[in-house]
Amino acid sequence: MSCAFRFDQRATALVELRGLRSEHELFEEALAARGWPVLDRQGRDTDPLVERRVRYVIEARFPGSRFNAAFGARERIELVADELRLDLQVQAVECVDRDPKDLPRWFVHEPPEVPAGASATARLRGRFLRWSAENLGTRDTGRLIMATTPQAAGWLATRPLPGTPARPAAVARRAMGAAPTPSRRIGSRRDSLRMMSRLLVFVLLGFLLGAHLADVLVSQDRWSWTSTAVLAVVAGCAAVAGWRIPQDGSPFGTAAFAAFLVLLGAGGGGHVGRQVPDQGFAAPVLVALLAGAVVANGIRLLVRQWSWQRVAPWLLPALIPLAFGLLPGVGTALHVLYLDAFDVDLEDVEVPRAFQFMAMLKLTACLGLWFLAPSVLGYMKHFHWHVKDRMFGNFVVFLLSVLLVGMGFLGLGLLGAEIAGEKAAATAAAGRTPKGYYGIEPEWVCLAPVGKLAEVPVDGGVLEPKRPYLKLGDSGGVVVLWDAGEKAALKVPLERLRLAPADSARVTCGSAGPKG
């Protein structure tokens, strides 16, 4: 491993290694391969056959969150010792705090010269030029200075730098933004990045809240308690963030700004929820998109902690069922289970290929739910909860994998199609029109035989023209009608019937059938 690899955390550790000189050299080589410098070493003997206790002060460098980083450093150091079969004890470890300060910025400018005996017009013009130089930067020299006090900024303004023109001692400096005061706290350079990431979370939460409220209004106050709970959580997060976000002003001002971002996001989410064609589902779709982004980020963290060579064995088992799901006709398994609730075979109903492809994509997405398992592993490694291959962590990932495969393929996929078919059959039995399902569009129809009713061939029962039937589809010139009263499917040649739409199963069709 290269010493120049990217890392997020640095931790200094005091470790004690008991062994021969060869074991000490082996440990130092492993540290050098990882890019971990040895800051101090005490107790090493020159005799290769003498066993000694050597204390090392080393610096571990590794990716991951600062949260729980000290524990992660200890685990990584012990992992090196376990791989090399060394007798090593970590005695102390602490993260290195090297967060640079974001010093106030100053601009250097040349003040205008106003002669002592100048006229009133010249003095007025000089005042305007001085004001514009101090506030608008019209006479800046181009030098940018980072300093905590005006005195330090004044000294840096006249200090010569190689390759730059010499400046007279009369140059002045102006602060960028508000002038620093002794009571003003100097923040960290990375504070702004942390603040923006937290504020982005507020915007996303507000957007989700607005979309959910729009769904609640469309669906007549359904899940209103959930909206209230989300609103309380968002308000609490905004208040807490106002106190904890590093900033130079009042914490109440930052809390107010965070609350404003939440309201701004809620307004945008509400507008999107009202504008989408299929109203009432804006929040679930948004949650699905955010969940996909979270899963993708977890896999990215796993790759960053390991490498593509080590992550590939985790992802290949998920790609195999995905490739299986892309085979033609696999998505029709959902149609088979749906139609089974009506006691109808798939070959009796022709499903357009576009909807077969959509069903295949749904089944593929259900199989892809397994990607959540390596994503969780990536987050566990990012927060240093799974550094070593411990039994507990492996058991959690294994159990999560089994549950996700069962929930995805069986629960959301096959079992979901079966449940959808049972609900559709129950809806039709109650006289209402069921919702469509991936190309299967049930509708109530009144029928009139072409010719004599007794001469119409019927497979599965007897036709009664006064009774409306639920049309499930047709295939090969044969239409499938479902009798809500008998709960049985009838197959009739389409050329021997004339069909007309009916509002529900409660209507009474004409004795001679509808006029075609």
* CB of 108 closer than 8 Å to CB of 141: yes
pTM: 0.70
Confidence of residue 382 (pLDDT cuts 50, 70, 90): very high
Token pair for 516: 């075609």
Helix axes 191-218, 224-244, angle to 10 degrees: 170
Q: Which helix (H) or strand (E) holds 240?
A: helix 224-244
User: 3-state DSSP call for residue 366?
Assistant: helix
Range of 9-18, 47-56, 327-336 with top mean pLDDT? 9-18
* pLDDT surpasses 90 at 95: yes
CA-to-CA distance for 169 and 59, rounded, in angstroms?
46
CA-to-CA distance for 386 and 82, rounded, in angstroms?
15
In whole numbers, what is the pLDDT of the chain averaged over residues?
79
pLDDT tens column, 251-301: 566 666 666 777 777 777 776 666 665 556 677 777 778 888 888 899 899
CA-to-CA distance for 421 and 340, rounded, in angstroms?
7
CA-to-CA distance for 359 and 437, rounded, in angstroms?
9
* CB of 339 closer than 8 Å to CB of 437: no
Token pair for 105: 């910025």
Q: Quick one: pLDDT at residue 69?
A: 93
List, as one string, the DSSP characters of 258-299: HHHHHHHHHHHHHHHHHHSSSTT-HHHHHHHHHHHHHHHHHH
Q: Quick one: pLDDT at residue 1?
A: 40
Question: Which residues face 146 on adjacent strands?
Answer: 105
Q: Quick one: pLDDT at residue 417?
A: 86
Sign of CA dihedral 446, 448, 453, 457: negative
Range of 23-32, 42-51, 177-186, 305-314 with top mean pLDDT? 23-32
Nearest to 499 by CA among 445, 433, 456, 458: 445
Residue holding tokens 């974001």? 102
- Mean pLDDT is lowest, of 46-60, 158-172, 235-249, 372-386, for 235-249
Token pair for 319: 């790609």
What's the DSSP call for residue 44?
A: -
* pLDDT surpasses 90 at 185: no
Between 45 and 340, name the one with better pLDDT. Answer: 340
pLDDT tens column, 100-113: 777 878 888 788 87
Who contacts 382 (Cβ-Cβ below 8 Å, separation ≥6)? Answer: 63, 64, 65, 301, 305
CA-to-CA distance for 119 and 155, rounded, in angstroms?
33
- Measured in residues, the chain has a length of 516
pLDDT tens column, 5-40: 578 899 999 999 999 999 999 999 999 999 999 999
Q: Quick one: pLDDT at residue 246?
A: 47
Q: Quick one: pLDDT at residue 62?
A: 93
Helix axes 282-305, 191-218, angle to 10 degrees: 150
Between 38 and 231, name the one with better pLDDT. Answer: 38
Phi, psi of 78 (to 5 degrees): -65, -30
Between 246 and 304, name the one with better pLDDT. Answer: 304
